[in-house]
Structure 1
Amino acid sequence: MKYVSTRGQAPALEFEDVVLTGLASDGGLYVPQSIPEFSKEEIASWAGLSYQELALKIMSPFVAGSIPEADLKDLIDRSYATFRHDAIVPLVQTGHNEWIMELFQGPTLAFKDIALQFLGNLLDYVLKKRDQKVVIMGATSGDTGSAAIEGCRHCDNVDIFILHPYQRVSEVQRRQMTTVIENNVHNIAMKGNFDDCQNLVKTSFADQSFLPEGRQLAAVNSINWARIMAQIVYYFYCGLALGAPSRPVSFSVPTGNFGDIFAGYIAKRMGLPVDQLVIATNSNDILHRCISDNDHSKKALEHTLSPSMDIMVSSNFERMLFELHGRDGAKVAQLMEDFKSGEMTLGEAELAEARKLFSSYRLDDDAMVDVIRDVYEKTEYLLDPHTAIGVEAARKTRRSKDVPMICLATAHPAKFPEAVKKAGQTEDPALPHHMADLFEREEKYEVLDHDAEAVRSFVAGNCRA
């Protein structure tokens, strides 16, 4: 399997090179040269497979020619051995044909563990094979950072630097990152917002001359295709559990950087009968505005109670633009130039296709808190703020109650006690026992100004020999 850039000018690469490269040399994101497709009969034959067995079926075509099946199986098995639930992504029913897909059963209580436990093991595998060392530089709006650190903390050939927006993540999210005291782990609290952090990381990939000799940057953000690939699996797993492929299924996805819902789109392309994909956004609603009003303009970023979605530049939307425009890299490159100036407009045909593929909905903090309260009062099931937005978006946009609606629960509610308390809970939701002492652990992190040179100097000066 070869991979091509969404902007059409970078060379096609093999899977392992894509894992280590991150952004393409032309500034684009890598996608498979072709999307594997499975027949209805083949998908039906997977009913009853364990999550790990299914992951091997789904991922194998994407790594063909790069990783032997036995090695891929070992990577998958080791990656999901750290999860608390045997189903990896269990389903909980909260209404008629309404289901919650619990993606927070991993070590850091967020959906990012699904991909980043795998990516950490994958990086270790590739780097040891090549006798190579890399520097991971990533930006997080809350959950990617802790999941990336947990996945890479034991990697001998990786130094990891995670930027988070200073005082704009929850205390639990921050402490999950900053209490990992390993000599290859570095946390930077950068003054600014998530988009500032993400932009600094992107520009650092474009010019890596600040790194020590012999090092290159590797990406753990969802620009890395391996993360998208790992996320495709749970759409199939939960779809199969609820009757696919003999019946369609729908998904509502709390959406910030567009990687998670893009994985759902790829699952649909691969043969999963997906009826609806719902883009659920908070007040930072650029994706909802794009789908509903063809308004993909940048606005001031708001700080909300669902901080992992406080994003105005959704990196993976570029992958979707590539598909909407018939894989025309030159067209995508022009659209991204337009967006740099603050605004981007889809053509009529592309907008119509996007509306066929996606529904969308926006929810502000007050309405989100009401959803947490309402669902808890009726079911005694406690939602985190991001998941609550997904549940309400599903209810407001749902086309058919005959089709199972699966709402992706992207984080454990204990990560967001402020929102939970506003919904009427008198006590903070309890952290799982493996994290019960989180607030007593030593923290280590660096607070830096929004200054590219200062950040890059810190990175260069803290790489291990």
Structure 2
Amino acid sequence: MNYKSTRGGELQNSTFATLHGLANGGGLYIPEKLPEVKLTYDELKNLSYQELSEKIIKLFFTEFSDEEIKNAVNNAYNNTTFTDENIVPVHKLNEKVSFGELFHGRTLAFKDLALSLFPYLLLLSKEKQKENKKILILAATSGDTGKAALEGFKDIDRINIVVFYPKNGVSPMQEEQMRKQLGNNVEIVAINGNFDDAQSAIKVIFSSEEFKKYANDHNVMFSSANSINIGRLFPQIIYYVSTYVNLVKAGTIKPNEEFNVVVPTGNFGNILAGFIAKKLGIPIKKFISASNKNKVLADFFQTGIYNKNRDFYATNSPSMDILLSSNFERYLYYALNENSERVNELITNLLSGGELSVNEEELKNIQNEFYGEFSNDDETVNAIKSVYENYHYLMDPHTAVAYSVYEKLDNSNLDKNTHTIIMSTAHPFKFPTPIAKALGIDETKNPYTILDEISETTGVKFPEKLTEVRNSEIRFSNVIDKADIQDFVKKYIKDLK
């Protein structure tokens, strides 16, 4: 399978696209043509998560042999990397709503599902491309990608990874997880800025010929761990396929019956993977993009205008504190009938003036499948409280944003007679403060003390992976200004042994 840029240009194979991450000119790689398959329940129902993974990965990475894919998948998804044998279990809340639990991996967040497999895809791509340079992975994180990427790539030979995160823009537990990360090839840097500042700086580095030459002179090449990379994006399709199968197996829906999906959305990779799953035959009726107070996506799906010229808010769902969603460009490509020229025009407007807008007809077509809504911090806490009191089920704040959004919608935007799956993106214990507030626990105490009380109150077991973090020493304390990211990367390259 060949890949091209969302903005047009040369074709590359999957190994080149995986290794390099970003296309020339700053566009994102997308398949020249999506696989022409129509996945059915009958062909999927007897497959394990691992076998489903092999089936999906083969569609998008045709340069790999069946054996190479099988080995990669079995290394990524097993009982040492995930604590639930289903990998992504489905929890039925009531007759109308279920949760797809994406948080049973090593770092307790949905990013584990792709970042457990991605390192193997990257190493295979490096081998196929006969690339001998050291790889430097640069990643920006709003909370969960950082730890999952660090865990996935730690101590891999000839690969180094540097993660940048907003100093005051992640939860205490997310920061603890990153600052205590083990590995001889990892670096974690806090910035005085927000996620968009870090992501934009990294995109400049990836697109800069000067930076590429500097890296090349030091026998280094750049790659990415964010979902701008196809090796990160396409493994996320798997859990939408498995969720459909599990909904049918549980008797919640019938084979071929449509269901809705609500996704807490920041950088747009998660919900985009679901959109592609629908293109492959999974019977998803409507996608709801759920935002927090940084509601740039919710506004777009309601008005057709994407305007990032607005105040940035630090919320209690920090992984969604994003104003410039990278994978949104890929979605635009498909929403606008794969018209690269139109995408290039709109993205140029967005990057130069901070705003893009689709026309009335384009918006109407978009709203047939997508809609957006937001919930603020108070509504998020109230959702956590309500669901716990009524169902004794504990949600993290991102999942709570999605649930709150679901509750807000009426039948004009979402058919609630159709079963809805909410993609639950993180374990609630990663976010002690909003959970404590919802449960009436003193939120001013030490985060671990708060979590002990939450565990005692709810009966939810303290996750083993957080116990490991609790007992570890802090290794990283770098804090730099957002304007110094590029200089930091140059020095890091220079000092690489």
**What is the TM-score when the length of structure 2 is the normalising length?**
0.90
Which amino acid counterpart does residue 76 of structure 2 have in structure 1?
A: S
2:334 to 323, 328, 331: 323
Confirm or deny that 1:256 pairs with 2:284.
Answer: no
Q: CA deviation at 1:245?
A: 4.1
Aligned-partner residue type, residue 470 of structure 2:
F
In 2, are the aligned partners of 1:448 and 1:454 still within 8 Å (CA)? no
What residue number does 1:444 align with?
475
- How far has the Cα of 1:49 moved from its partner? 1.4
Per-residue CA deviation, residues 232-290 of structure 1 (Å, 9 max, x unaligned), is 11111111222364211211100001111011110111111111111000000001101
Are 1:365 and 2:377 an aligned pair?
A: yes
Distance 1:457 1:43, change over 3 A: same
Percent sequence identity is: 36
Amino acid at match of 1:20: L
Show structure 2 runs of 5+ residues with no match.
249-253, 442-449, 456-461
Question: Per-residue CA shift, 1:433-456, capped at 9, x if unaligned?
Answer: 233142342222211111244322
Matches within 5 A, 1:108-127: 108-127=107-126
1:155 is aligned to: 156
Partner SS for 2:83 = coil
The answer to whether structure 1 residue 13 and structure 2 residue 19 are counterparts is no
Number of equivalent positions: 461
Counterpart Cα distance in 1 of 2:322 and 2:120: 28
CA distance in 2, matches of 1:401, 1:123: 41
Which of 382, 387, 395 is residue 399 of structure 2 equivalent to? 387
Structure 2: distance between partners of 1:122 and 1:405: 32
- Report the Cα distance in structure 2 between the residues aligned to 1:84 and 1:291, rounded to whole angstroms: 36
Mean CA deviation greater in 364-373 or 237-246: 237-246
Read off the aligned partner of 2:256 and give its amino acid letter.
Answer: S
Distance 1:49 1:334 in 2: 43
Aligned to 1:213: 218
What SS is found at the alignment partner of 2:260?
strand
Shift of 1:124: 2.7
Distance 1:166 1:2 in 2: 39
Partner of residue 71, structure 1? 68
Gap change, CA 1:246 and 1:328, over 3 Å in 2 = closer
Residue in 1 that maps onto 2:343:
332
* 1:415-434 alignment runs, 5 A limit: 415-426=430-441, 427-428=450-451, 429-430=454-455, 431-434=462-465
Alignment RMSD:
1.6
Q: What's the counterpart of residue 353 of structure 1? A: 365
Give the letter aligned to residue 404 of structure 2: E
- Structure 1 stretches lacking a partner, 5+ long: none
1:265-414 to 2 correspondences below 5 Å: 265-298=275-308, 299-340=310-351, 341-397=353-409, 399-414=414-429
Deviations 1:310-348 (A, max 9, x none): 000001000011112222222211111111211111112
- 2:55 matched to which residue of 1? 57
Q: For each residue in 1:133-190, what CA deviation from the matched residue of structure 2 results, as whole angstroms up to 9, or x when unmatched?
A: 2100010000000000011003112100000011211111112112123220000101
Secondary structure of the 1:423 match is helix
The 8 Å contact of residues 16 and 125 in structure 2, kept in 1 or not, is answered as no
The reply to whether residue 104 of structure 1 matches residue 103 of structure 2 is yes
Distance 1:34 1:131, change over 3 A: closer
**Contact 2:102-2:423 at 8 Å conserved across structures:** yes
Residue 224 of structure 1 corresponds to: 229
Residues 181-237 of structure 1: per-residue CA shift (max 9 Å, x gap): 322000010110000000011001012234252211001101001222101111111
Give the structure 1 partner of residue 3 of structure 2.
Answer: 3
The answer for the alignment partner of 1:34 in structure 2 is: 33
Answer yes or no: is the 8 Å Cα contact 1:124–1:155 preserved in 2.
Answer: no
What amino acid maps onto 2:389 in structure 1? E
1:174 corresponds in structure 2 to 175
Distance 1:73 1:373 in 2: 42
| Partner-residue secondary structure (3-state), 1:35 | coil
The TM-score with structure 1 as length reference comes to: 0.96
Counterpart-to-counterpart distance in 2, 1:280 and 1:453: 33
| CA deviation map 1:120-141 (0-9, x unaligned) | 2222333355353210001000
Residue pair 1:128, 1:157 contacting (<8 A) in 2 also: no
Partner SS, residue 242 of structure 1: helix
